[in-house]
Amino acid sequence: MAHPTIASKISGQTLRLATHEELAQQTASFFRRGLEGALNTQTAYRSDLRQLRQWLQQRELADLPLTPATLAAYLSNEANRHKWATLSRRLAAIRKWHKLNKHPDPALDDTVQTVLEGIKRSLGTEPGQALAFEIEEFKEKIRSIPRTPTGLRERALLLLGFVGAFRRSELVALNIESIQLTREGAVVSYQGSKTNQYGKTEQKALFFSPDPETCPVRALQDYTSLLSRTAGPLFVRIRKGHQMTQDRLSDKQVDRTTKTYLGQEYSAHSLRASFVTIAKLNGADDSQIMQQTKHRTRTMIDRYTRVQQVVRHNAAMKLGL
């Protein structure tokens, strides 16, 4: 027999409260949602688990849950092909799956921990760093982009990505209604960044530049005038014949565009890394930079600018040789 519904009177009205069973189900749902984490993290973890299952099937090994021996063998295999950052994320996905499904965590086994220590000692854990470009180089490349519909989109994409210090996932998720023009330039509102997992609206400012060819605000105005609408996805696919669609670009397109116009040595993350590096070298303080990047700590600011500081701010230049 189910527990009776719990009710309460407030201001003379009877309010229905949840039954004990309903409350237990809701609590369990919130608990699982808390374990699952952010949507982008869930997507990455699902991809990692698919790759793991393919690896298991190819070797005719049992499916999840994993034994410590199988996990150690998998990590050893992946260490031959991937950097520590990828390996670490895949291990996190495996551990999350076991936790969600209430299985023992195989990563806690001493053998697995020893294998991980050996991988770190052999390969290192320093993450790869996106190459930063010089500002004059960037401006020259932007000016060379043709003013076709596709060119106007790519110009706006690169300028907004750089000046706004956007991650590529944030950039392609923007909507037209997210942009508010101001006297000084524009304010871009967005949600769901990597460091903001609870949907809080964040904003970044863009400013008019003296050179119309490299002005992010004018580039946005030129591009949005082609869309003939005031809402929906900002950066969209363009079909042959300059036909504008409402199909949102993938984040991979940001990487392809960066390589096409700036050079194969650069990646989409170079836009963000270059913002930090150039702003820092031009005298911006960390708090100003973090206002745009939305970093929560100064650790990443230091990482982005370290290589350039080694070259430009080094006593070895003053030895008189």
Residues 206 and 266 in one domain: yes
Does residue 88 form part of some domain?
yes
Give domain status of residue 19, yes or no.
Answer: no
- pLDDT for res 185: 92
Please indicate, yes or no, whether residues 119 and 170 belong to a single structural domain of this protein. no
Beta pairing partners, 21: none
Q: How confident is the model at residue 41 (pLDDT cuts 50, 70, 90)?
A: low
Contacts (Cβ under 8 Å, ≥6 apart) of 76? 115, 119
CA 23/CA 31 separation, integer angstroms:
12
Q: What is the structure's pLDDT at 4?
A: 47
- Count of domains for the chain: 2
SS3 category, 105: coil
Q: Output the domain CATH number for residue 105.
A: 1.10.150.130
Same domain, residue pair 107 and 149: no
Q: What is the CATH number of the domain that holds 208?
A: 1.10.443.10
Residues 152 and 99 in one domain: no
My answer on whether 209 and 188 are in the same domain is yes
**Shared-domain flag, residues 95 and 187:** no
Q: Which amino acid is at 14?
A: T
Please list, residue by residue across 152-177, b when 16 or more beta carbons sit within 10 angstroms of its beta carbon and e when fewer do. Answer: bbbbbbbbbbbbbbbbbbbbbbbbbe
Q: Rounded to two decimals, what is the model's pTM?
A: 0.63
Asked whether residue 115 falls in the same domain as residue 190, the answer is no
For residue 147, is it within any domain? yes
Each residue's pLDDT tens digit, 56-100: 999 999 999 999 999 999 999 998 888 888 898 899 999 989 988
Name the nearest CA neighbour of 174 among 208, 145, 207, 203: 203
Q: What is the pLDDT of residue 100?
A: 86
Structural domain harbouring 142? 135-313
Which whole number is the average pLDDT over 282-291?
Answer: 81
Average pLDDT of the residues in 253-282: 90
Tell me if 237 sits within 8 A of 257, measured CB to CB. no
Residue with more model confidence, 200 or 5: 200
Give the C-alpha separation, 293 to 230, whole Å.
26
Residue 116 in domain: yes
Percent above pLDDT 90 for the chain? 46
Same domain, 156 and 44: no
Residue 157 falls inside a structural domain:
yes
In a domain, 240, yes or no: yes
Q: Which tens digits make up the pLDDT trace of 184-210? A: 999 998 875 555 555 577 888 899 999
52 occurs within a structural domain: yes
Distance CA 127, CA 60 (A): 33
Give 277: exposed, middle or buried? Use CB within 10 Å, 0-12, 13-18, 19+. buried
